[in-house]
Amino acid sequence: MSTGVLVIGHGSKLQYNRDIVASAAAKMNEMKEFGPVVAAFMQLNEPDIQTGIRELVNKGVETIYVQPCFLASGIHLTEDIPEEIGLEKGKTETTMDVDGKKVILRYCQPIGDDDRIAAILADRVRERSRKG
């Protein structure tokens, strides 16, 4: 069964914010660990979530890991994205029919409380402190 990843960002009027999500997805894609990786957005940017899913299915993906590119859980992660992908409340897996193909969607956790976040923040403080 072939897998892929849909990295979902919020979407923004600022191009830089869109580019960060797209870059993260591209870097994951280069890892070649999960199959194709595509960025998609809840609002304001393209591709939208349904287009991202369709792109992965067109690449032969049968199981999509839906990875929110959000630091913490909130209404977008608990209601908006699950609703968009047809996920029942409290569930982390569903199936979707995409152009006549049955696809499994597995919903992942947000970035959350991770030591790597603290390390990145510490690096940014170090960088700034070197500038005075």
User: Are 64 and 51 contacting, i.e. CB atoms less than 8 angstroms apart?
Assistant: no
| Residue 76 a catalytic site member | no
Catalytic residue among 10, 40, 56, 63: 10
Residues classed as catalytic = 10
